[in-house]
Amino acid sequence: LAKTTQPISMDSYEGQEVNITCSHNNIATNDYITWYQQFPSQGPRFIIQGYKTKVTNEVASLFIPADRKSSTLSLPRVSLSDTAVYYCLVGDGGGADGLTFGKGTHLIIQP
């Protein structure tokens, strides 16, 4: 299984840029890197996905170095509503076609 390692929690303030880094040393050649956001009492919500280099959408940016052993989710100018748990996932190299969710990063945004 391709495992991921992320910080358990992070704090920041409104208006700041937040970067959450995820390590995935055993990522497989065909695997993409996907980030999800989860609010209390809701299911996870897809944020962004990438394979290499940089991907940007209306919500976030994803930076992936050439060796793909890590990735960084960047949230520009966060607000209080960005307080949530963020999960970094990579595909399973074999076996069950499911996603391996770790404990995620609990991001707390303060005024």
Instruction: Decide if residue 63 touches other proteins (CB under 8 A).
Output: no
List the one residue from 24, 62, 87, 109 that touches other proteins (CB under 8 A).
Answer: 87
Instruction: Decide if residue 86 touches other proteins (CB under 8 A).
Output: no
Q: Can you give the C-alpha Rg of the chain in angstroms? A: 14
- With beta carbons less than 8 A apart as the criterion, state whether 57 and 45 touch: no
E-state strands within the chain: 9-13, 18-23, 33-38, 45-50, 53-56, 61-64, 70-75, 84-90, 105-110
The CB-of-93 to other proteins minimum distance in angstroms stands at 9
Contact pattern from residue 42 through residue 61 relative to other proteins, giving x for each residue in contact according to CB under 8 A and a dash for the rest: xxxxx--x------------
Which residues contribute to the site for other proteins (CB under 8 A)?
30-32, 34, 36, 41-46, 49, 87, 91-92, 96-104
